[in-house]
A and B are shown apart, each in its own frame.
Chain A
Amino acid sequence: MSDSTAIANGAPEAQHHEHPSYQRHHFESVEQQADATNFAMWLFLLTEIMFFGGLFTAYLIYRNWYYPAFVAASHQLNIFWGTANTGVLISSSFTMAMGVWCAETRRKSGLVLCLVLTFVLGLIFLGIKTIEYSEKIEKHHVPGFHYSVKNFTDPASDPETYKEYKDKPMPLDMARHTELYFFLYFAMTGMHALHMIIGIAILGFMIFRARAGAYTGGHVTFVENFGLYWHFVDIIWIFLFPLLYLISRHQ
C-alpha cells in the first residue's frame, strides 16, 4: 500500500531539485521562505504593538485624570538625555538599514561594520538610560521604593528643575499621583529597554555569524527581519519620547 496511488494530481517535478543550502525543506523555494519569514516578523511586531498598547492606554487615561501631577512629573525628565537617546537610536536605525543594504549587496566587511556600530549605539542608549534611571533612584522617584513626593509639594527642593520650570507647590493628594506617572515611565521605558537588550544580544550573535559570511551569501532574511525588529524598537521610542519627555515642556 504505497502512497503513489494517493496523490493522483501531482506536479511533475524533479525528484531532487536544486536549492540553496539555507532553504529549509518544507519550503518550495527561497522566495517562499523569505516571503513567509518576513510576513511572520511583521505579524510578531503587530503583537508587540498590542503588548505596548495596554501601557499606552493606561498612560493616556491617567494623564487625563491627573493632569497636573503628570505635567509636574514629566518636568523631572531630562530633555538633554532624552534627545541624546533619540539621536542615538535614530542613528542606530540608520546603521542597521545600511547593514541590511550591505548584506543584500554582499559587502561582508561593510555589514560587520554596520552591525558593530548598531551594537555600540544600542549600548550607548542603554548607558544613557542607566544615567537617567540612577538619577531617579537618587531622587526617590521609583514607585514602591521609598517614593517621595517632596519635589512636587515643595518644588524649590529640586533647584535644577525649579530653575527651568518654576512649578508651583502641589497639594499632597495630587502629588501622590506622580507615583503613577513614574510607574508608567519605568514600565514603558523598562519594557522598551528590555527589548533593546534582547536586540543587542541578537546583534552580538549576528556579528559573529556575519564575520563568518553567513549573511552575505544570498541568505539575507535574518538580517532583514532583525532590521525590522530594530526599527520597531526605534519607533516605540519615537512615541515614548514625545509622550513622556516633550509633552509638558511648555507648561
Chain B
Amino acid sequence: MSTNTIVSLPDQSTARIPKVNFLTKENGLLSWLLTGDHKRIAILYLISITFFFFIGGALAGLIRLELLTPQSDLMATDTYNKVFTMHGVIMIFLFLVPSVPATLGNFLIPIMLGAKDLALPKINLLSWYLYVVGGILVLYTMISGGVDTGWTFTTPLSTHYVNTNVMSTGLAVFIAGFSSIFTGLNFIVTIHKMRAPGMTWFRMPLFVWSHYAASILMVLGTPVLAIAIVLVALERTMGIGVFDPTKGGDPLLFQHLFWFYSHPAVYIMILPGMGVISEVISTFSRKRVFGYTAVAFSSVAIAVFGFFVWAHHMFIMGISNYAMLVFSLLTMLVAVPSAIKIFNWTFTLYKGSITFETPMLYAFGFMGLFTIGGLTGVFLGTSGTDIHLTETYFIVAHFHFVMVGGMLMAFLSGIHFWWPKMTGRMYPEKISQLAAVVTFIGFNFTFFPQFILGTLGMPRRYAAYPPEFQVLNVFSTAGATILGVGYLLPVLYLTWSLKYGEIAGNNPWQATGFEWQIQSPPLTENFTVTPIMDHEAYDYEWLENQKAKEVASVG
C-alpha cells in the first residue's frame, strides 16, 4: 500500500463482487420500476437527474454561445429567453434540488442510521415517479415551444404578458415539488424513528444532520411554492386579479410567496452538499470533524434562519426601507453558520493525515469556491451595494459559484466517494483527479469574469449587450467549454468503471460509518443483523480496533 493514499482494496486476483446484493437480488424491468428498495430508487434518481443535467447543460452551452457576440445573432431573442428559462427550471428543480438528497441521501441515510430502509418505501417510489412526471412535463414544454418567463415566473409578465407554456411548466414544477416534499418527509420520519440502538442524535454522521435540516426546509417551504404556482395558474386562466394592480391585486405578493420558498430552496440545495463535505474531509484527514456539535447545529441554524430572509431578493422592488433593515440584518445572521462550517472543515485538516484522492480534491474545490460564492452573497445582503449589483451578472456569478462551484462539486465528491459502495467497483483515480482539476479551472474561467461584468453593470438575462462587455463574455464562454469537458469525463469513466473498475471491497477508504462496514454493493436489506452504535461518529480508533479483530476473508 503506497503511503500517499488511504485506498485499501482487496487482492484483485481473488476479489469478486458479492453474488447477492441489491442489484442482483431481483431481475427485470418491473423489479426496478416497482421497487421499494431505497438503494434502487437512488439509482433510478441518479440516472434521471444525470439525464436532465445534460439537457440543462446543453442549454447553458447555447447561452454561452449566444453571448460570444454582443448582438443577438445566434438565435432570436425570444428563443434565447426560452433557453435561459428552461436552463434555470431544469437545473434548479430537476437537478439541484433532488441531486444529493434523492441519490446519495436515499441510498445512504437508512444505512448510516442502521435501518433496513426508509420509513415509507412506497412514498419514496412515488416521489421518484412524481419527479419523472415533472421531468416529462418539462420535456413536453420544451418540445411544444418552451417558456420564456425566467425561472422566477415574475408576475404580471407570466400571468398576462406571455403566451408561452407557463401552465405546463408550472404544473411540472408543482409536481416535482411534491416529489421533494415526500423525500424530505421520509427522511425526517426515518431519522426520528428508525435509528439503530445506541445511535443517538449526536452520534449520527453529519451527512444525516445536513439532510435533516434540508428536509425541514423541503417539507415546510415547498408547499408555499405550490400555492404560488396555483395562484399564477388561476390568474392566467381565469383572470381573477390577485396579482393584477388594475383589479386591486398586488404583483409583489407573488414575489413574496415565490421567494418564501425559493430562498430556503437554495439551502435545500446546499445543505446536503455540505453534509457530503463533512464526510469526505473527515475520511481523508483520518479525523473526526472539528467541532461536530457546531457543524450539526449550524446546519439547523441555516435551515431556521433561511426561512426569514426571503425579501433580500426584493430590496429594490419597492419594499419599505424598514422591511429592508429586517431582512438585511437576518441575511447577515444566516451567513454566519456557513462561515462556521468552512472554518470547522479547515481545522479538521489540522493535525490530520491528509491524502488527495478525487473526493478530497472536489471537497477542496468546494471549500474555495463556496467561500467565494458565500462572501459575494454578503455584497448582495448588504443593501447599499445590492442596489448596484442586483439584477446584474454579479448575481449570476454569485449563485453559480455557490451552486455549481459549491453544490455540484460536493455532488461529484459524494458520487466518487460512495461509488465503490453503490457499485462495488472503484473509479479510475488518475483520470478522475484530472477531471476534478479541469472542472475547477473551467469553472473559474467561466464564472469569475461574470463578477466583473456585473460590477460593470451588465444586466442579466440579456441576449444582446453593449460591445465593451464582449471580452469578458468571450473569456466566460471559453471557460464554459473547459467546464463541459470536466463534466463529461466522469460520465465516461464512471460508466467504464462499472465493468472494468477494480473491485472495491467493503471499505476502500478505511472510513467509519455503518455503510463502510457492510458489503459493496449492499444487500437489499442492508444488514443481516441490526447493528448497535456503541461509539461516537468518526471514531477512527474504533475502526482500528475493528481491523485488528477482523478475520481476513477467505477466497
Contacts and interface: CB of A to CB of B under 8 A. Distances in A.
- Give yes or no for direct A-B contact (beta carbon below 8 Å): yes
A172 to B, nearest CB: 12
B211 to A, nearest CB: 15
Interface string B116-129: 11111101000000
Nearest to A4: B528
A47 B238 contact: no
Given A46-B220, A47-B222, A10 B193 contact: no
Interface in B62-117: 110, 115-117
A26 B247 contact: no
Contact of B193 (A2, A36, A61, A62): A36
A119 B183 CA distance: 31
B242 A58 contact: yes
A241 to B, nearest CB: 20
B220 A179 contact: no
A239 B439 CA distance: 54
Contacts of A48: 223
Interface string A4-29: 11111111110000000000111110
B241 A180 contact: yes
Nearest to A12: B529
B248 A177 contact: yes
Contacts of B550: 5, 8
A1 B15 contact: yes
Given A5-B550, A8-B549, A32-B194, A26 B115 contact: yes
Given A5-B550, A54-B224, A183 B517 contact: no
A39 interface: yes
B257 A143 contact: no
A9 B220 contact: no
A102 B117 CA distance: 32
B18 interface: yes
Nearest to B516: A6
A66 interface: yes
B326 interface: no
Interface stretch (B48-56, B200-208, B273-281, B518-526): B518-526
B16 interface: yes
B25 interface: no
A184 B243 CA distance: 12
Interface in A158-217: 176-177, 179-180, 183-184, 187
Given A36-B189, A36-B193, A46-B219, A1 B530 contact: no
A178 to B, nearest CB: 10
A180 B239 CA distance: 10
Contact of A37 (B120, B197, B222, B240): B120
Contact of A61 (B10, B250, B505, B532): B250
B389 interface: no
B224 A3 contact: no
A187 B506 contact: no
A225 to B, nearest CB: 11
A179 B240 contact: yes
Given A6-B517, A143-B240, A26 B117 contact: yes
A53 interface: yes
A39 B120 CA distance: 11
Contacts of B115: 26
Contacts of B194: 26-28, 32, 36
Given A7-B518, A11-B529, A32-B194, A144 B240 contact: yes
B430 interface: no
Contacts of A80: none
Given A13-B530, A43-B189, A58-B242, A180 B253 contact: no
B238 A143 contact: yes
A9 B532 contact: yes
Contacts of A44: 185
A40 B119 contact: yes
Nearest to A187: B234
B551 interface: yes
A54 B188 contact: no
Given A7-B527, A48-B223, A43 B188 contact: yes
Interface string B140-162: 00000000000000000000000
A3 B239 contact: no
28 contacts: A2-B18, A3-B18, A3-B518, A5-B551, A7-B531, A9-B531, A9-B532, A11-B531, A11-B532, A13-B530, A26-B115, A26-B116, A26-B117, A26-B119, A32-B193, A36-B120, A36-B189, A39-B189, A40-B123, A44-B185, A47-B222, A47-B223, A50-B224, A51-B223, A51-B226, A53-B223, A180-B241, A187-B234
Closest 9 CB pairs of A and B: A144-B238, A10-B529, A26-B117, A54-B227, A51-B223, A183-B240, A26-B116, A50-B223, A36-B193
